[in-house]
Structure 1
């Protein structure tokens, strides 16, 4: 089987996944790194089931207060383990000359965090000691649509993704799984792929609706996901991934006591992808990791993603 046919079964593993926490504290709807290798290459029509395991560990600046839900904290140290399922359908008939696909997904998760201090009053006038929190539960519901165009080695994608806020959320917790408000992200990108080498870049903007529980609205976020890899044989590719995340407008609302609180973070790391047979079906797995740097008003650390695609239409 050619590399191109193998790829047609595997690319939906790179659908986005969400780390949904409280919306302030430098955390928004979009999780950097959601798009990866071959992001714009068309896939095989029919049903597939991408499963995505995400693990992250991040810390806030231990010397700087940060708004988090209904609290203000100092020195957050947080860990999250999340398992997503994204049933996806790719249409055989073109739409606007492109291949269209729809996906809807959710996750189960365990999130835990501890803080050095909790400032419970305005401007930190009331101070309590260190505390921790752990939460297990379900995420929000995520809906995504894509259009992909192919012109030889050049591939293009347009996408939109929304959040339906039904997950576990409490504004007075240190950690959350649901976002606490609706959000919409949209953007586009490009993949160069010549069967041996690929380069992908996908950019987008996120609009966040107000979190009415805390009268807080995140500003507009901009993000860029990057991938470059080389196929060492028909089954395996190796390379690098990276992302740039920058909030472009400030936070607002009566709960935004820290002003615009614009956040940013960058990340870079390795990736590996592999195609393998399970019975008569060809599955695909991708492992990638990011080390974060140059963060501002946002927790900084590292994260890993393990994605597996199960084809269902054959």
Structure 2
């Protein structure tokens, strides 16, 4: 296994964006966070994946959306976040697999505006538009992976959860903390023959209740996809995509819009490049997604600029 392949596998360690609950049509799991060669083993030891994430999305102005302690229509939202994900990959096998653990956190700025607020926090009623912005830190996310390599075939199992310690206020329109705990788990596959790669990672999310607003999100299912071709030994080009679908409804006294199941799909381009810094091989990747077929969820576009730093 080449060092390029092992380092490329670090792209699987991209973090999940901090988000509001599904009551805002936004999930704990950020679709698209697994990328090229997601299941490929990585270089043992410490590494530092860094990710800049930008998202711009909006909701239709005619459908009411529950959001924290309010019901709104006509949301426009943007966010810019910088994630750091210190990761340790063990040299000794566990269950015949390569094990790795990551601690993920972010800082950033989120902003949003709505055309109207139908029901405000604590039951107060409002009309007319409003906006909000927030600079803050995210929850802390914990990610663990197990990866098995069999020639050109690679397999992965993962689990991810959060400690809800980020900035969160149910009376705000935007937050950088989640407001409740969640757990996600799944598996993935990567085919890689040193020239072409294909990766698919599927998982499901369970959400605990947000006691501030008496709202519990349903179970979410998601699939991240990547396919690319190495045009040189250092550069690859390809496409990425994802499918997200909420399989059970939301519940609790705060779920005023019923089960409010959401879904969205996306596709877009990607490019990656290896380059040397001193004696170490670093990796940069740029990918973007255009969303479509959204239901009960904001729809728009997002970009990821990532840098994998071997330590």
TM class by smaller structure? over 0.9
Pairs within 5 Å for 1:19-30: 19-23=17-21, 24-30=23-29
Which residue number in structure 2 is paired with residue 252 of structure 1?
251
Matches within 5 A, 1:183-194: 183-194=182-193
After TM superposition, the structure 1 = structure 2 runs for residues 81-230 of structure 1, keeping only pairs within 5 Å, are: 81-120=80-119, 126-230=125-229
SS of equivalent to 2:105: strand
Partner of 1:116, secondary structure, is strand
User: What whole-Å deviation, never above 9, does each CA across 1:91-142 have from its counterpart, x for those lacking one?
Assistant: 00000010000000100010000000011269x9944111110000000000
- State the TM-score, normalizing by the size of structure 1: 0.96
Structure 1 runs (4+) deviating above 6 angstroms are none
Measure the CA separation in 2 of the matches of 1:95 and 1:121. 51
| Partner Cα distance (2:120, 2:212) in 1 | 17
Provide the secondary structure at the position in 2 that maps to 1:277: strand
Q: Which moved more, 1:20-29 or 1:169-178?
A: 20-29
Q: Secondary structure at the match of 2:2?
A: helix
SS of 1:75 mapped into structure 2? strand
Structure 2 unaligned regions, length at least 5: none
1:134-154 deviations in Å (ceiling 9; x for gaps): 000000000000000011100
Map 1:284-295 to 2 at 5 A: 284-295=283-294
Equivalent residue number for residue 7 of structure 1? 5
Is the Cα contact below 8 Å between 1:10 and 1:283 reproduced in 2? Answer: no
CA distance in structure 2 between the aligned counterparts of 1:266 and 1:297, rounded to whole angstroms: 13
- Report the Cα offset of residue 25 of structure 1: 1.4
Shift of 1:16: 3.1
In 1, Cα distance between the equivalents of 2:293 and 2:63?
15
Question: How many pairs were matched up?
Answer: 309
- Once the two structures are superposed, residues 167-221 of structure 1 have per-residue CA deviations (whole angstroms, 9 ceiling, x without a partner) of 0011111111100000000000100000000000000000000000000000000
Task: Provide, for residues 259-305 of structure 1, a one-character-per-residue CA deviation record: whole Å limited to 9, x for no partner.
Answer: 10000000000000100011111100111000000000000000000
Is the aligned partner of 1:16 residue 2:14? yes
Shift of 1:14: 3.3
For residues 268 and 6 of structure 1, what CA distance do their matches in structure 2 show?
A: 26
Give the Cα separation in 1 of the matches to 2:234 and 2:56: 31
Contact 1:165 1:179 in 2 (8 A): yes
Cα deviation code 1:226-249 (max 9, x no counterpart): 000000011000000000000000
TM-score (norm 2): 0.97
Contact 2:115 2:130 in 1 (8 A): yes
Q: Distance in 2 between matches of 1:10 and 1:151?
A: 17
The Cα RMSD (Å) is 1.4
